[in-house]
Amino acid sequence: MNEVSDSLKALEESLILAKNFLLNTLEKSNLNLNIYTHLDADGLSSGAILGKTFFRERIPFQIRVLKQLEKGEIIKLAKDAMDGAKFIIFSDFGSGQYLELIKHLKLHEPQVPFLILDHHLPQEVPNKEDPNIKKIHEKSIPWHVNPYFYGIDGSTEISSSGLCYLFSKVINKKNIDLSPIALVGATGDIQNSGPNYSFMGINSYILKDAIGADLIDEVDDLSFSPIKPINEAIAYSNKINLPGLTGNASTTLKFLKTIGILMEKPDGNIRTLNDLTQSEKRDISSKIIEYALKYEIEPEIITQNLIINRYILKNEIVGSELHELNEFSKLLNSCGRSENASLGIAIGMGDRRIAYQKAQENLVEYRKKISNALNWIQKDGKIKEMEYIQYFYGEDVIADTMIGTIASILIFDKSGVINKIKPIFGCSKRESEGVYKISARASKKVVLEGINLSEAIRKALSLSELDVLGGGHPPAAGTVVPIDKIELFLENCNKIINEQRNITSE
């Protein structure tokens, strides 16, 4: 834990330098503050934390949400910034594009000051052991803050919203009340990846802030959705696969009735996990364990996936999507992925009325799209396999904003739709731009075996002679590829993944 606290101290010292750089520059130059952030739950949480922070400091700001910080976007925003006096903050992207940002914002007159708060591997850095990380850090003080500079793993120990929260706290310690939003973002990036879905590293320190401020409760609970009808929550859980129950809500309903669980509320609706007593939860837990053992499911798999650490936001309405971190993150993600990012930002900043109501309506439609996409993709021939990777095309069913979500669901799904020992690449066509949006995902097991998708994508782009930005984290990365180069790119991804496997097996 001392090693983590030392890293946190070094990170906070850099954030103080970044704060001074920002505030001094704004004061001296009378610049407008623009925040650019990503559209997923972590990006929206990051933007919301920054927005709330500057609102409290009475610093005017604008937030723009992007699908990704691609070269075309950098050129466009650089032109906009030069047309008007601006200071730009990049959150949840920027590190993977920092050389392009230097090129277009620092090496031109007038220079555009900017600050990067990002948790992805820096551009041209293949992995967290690369010695160039230290050099990049030294050259980019105070305008670039990244956890990898301090030996902190940005894929598991802190997300961009966590970074923005720590930045917010060095501006004003009272911003500790934003700690739950940082954990919403971390959850969206699947950083609750410790034992029983707990937080690790710096995220665990942020959790201490939230618990200490009486904002979050940490409880042991069944791993199923707390707000869906309990039979559906069990049947469609991606945490554990129960033959005969998984995917079959009506059979699961009968199963619950046979063990004596009262299923209906007085209003006729099916009860949710939130409606159950602790005694009922224990009954369900013991009966599911019995059921799973009959099918010779390993006890370790059952215990790891059946009981989890659940994080309850104490100031939110019980049973709402905002009452639990995982459901909160799903709500924000649905906003960003369906071109309603402003709703997610508003909710993250505290709107519980109009924005929240609209987001709830949007979530219903978004879930329908996800369900339709998953049903469609399970048809024969949609998942195509090479020797070391698998891939699918979204065709006219899966939008580019949703391709990463579908890839993530497939890689974590317990039903065996895809081959988990191979990374999966989702490809969605942006016809107007002449490119495919690529989202790649790999299981935890595959990453532990040495597969690094961020590095693989960057190398495949180079082999394909594509002057395109790409990267991310070892288990999740992305890029864009010209339509006529997609087959070559995928072949090169297959080649690089094979090379990574060979290196780790030596």
- Mean pLDDT computed over every residue of the chain: 94
* Strand-by-strand arrangement of the 470-472 sheet: 384-385, 390-393, 424-430, 435-441, 476-482, 470-472
Query: What was the pLDDT predicted at 402?
Result: 95
Residue with tokens 């949400």: 65
Q: Would you state the structure tokens that stand for residue 201, as one six-digit string?
A: 């590293």
Q: What is the pLDDT of residue 206?
A: 98
246: Cα within 13 Å, side-chain hemisphere: 16
Asked if residue 506 has pLDDT above 70, the reply is: no
Residue from 169, 167, 176 nearest 213 by CA: 176
- H or E stretch covering 32: strand 32-38
Distance, in Å, from the CA atom of 437 to the CA atom of 464, rounded to the nearest integer, reads: 16
15 close to 154: Cβ distance less than 8 angstroms: no
pLDDT digits (tens, 9 = 90+) for 233-253: 999 988 888 999 998 999 999
Share of the chain above pLDDT 70, in %: 99
- What confidence tens digit (pLDDT) does each residue in 258-284 have? 999 999 999 988 999 999 999 999 999
pLDDT given for residue 21 in this prediction: 98
pLDDT class of 412 with cuts at 50, 70, 90: confident
- pLDDT tens-place string over residues 7-63: 999 999 999 999 999 999 999 988 999 999 999 999 999 999 999 999 999 999 999
Q: Looking at the domain 2-187, which fold is it?
A: inorganic pyrophosphatase (n-terminal core) (3.90.1640)
Mean pLDDT, range 160-178, rounded to an integer: 99
Q: May I ask the CATH architecture of the domain 378-505?
A: Roll (3.10)
DSSP string, 35-93: EEEESSHHHHHHHHHHHHHHHHTT--EEEEEES---HHHHHHHHHHHHHS-EEEEEESS
Tokens of 255: 């199963």
pLDDT given at position 379: 79
Q: Give the pLDDT of residue 505.
A: 60
Q: Cβ–Cβ contacts within 10 Å for residue 442, how many?
A: 27
- Structure confidence at residue 83 (pLDDT): 76
CA distance linking residue 330 with residue 313, whole number of Å: 15
DSSP readout, 424-467?
EEEEEEEGGGTEEEEEEE--HHHHHTT--HHHHHHHHHHHTT--
Contacts of 150 (CB under 8 A, 6+ apart): 7, 10, 11, 14
Specify the DSSP element, H or E, that contains 115: strand 114-117
Q: In this model, does residue 1 exceed pLDDT 80?
A: no
Provide the pLDDT for residue 210: 99
* pLDDT at residue 141 is higher than 90: yes
Token couple for 301: 């798999």
How far is the C-alpha of 201 from the C-alpha of 54, rounded, in Å? 27
Domain ranges of the chain: 2-187, 222-370, 378-505
Cα separations in angstroms, 133 against 93, 97, 195, 347, 469: 17, 14, 29, 35, 18
Residue 415 binned pLDDT confidence (cut-offs 50, 70, 90): low
What is the maximum span of the chain, computed from C-alpha positions, in angstroms?
73
Element (H, E) at 184: helix 179-188
Residue 504's pLDDT band, with cuts at 50, 70 and 90, is low
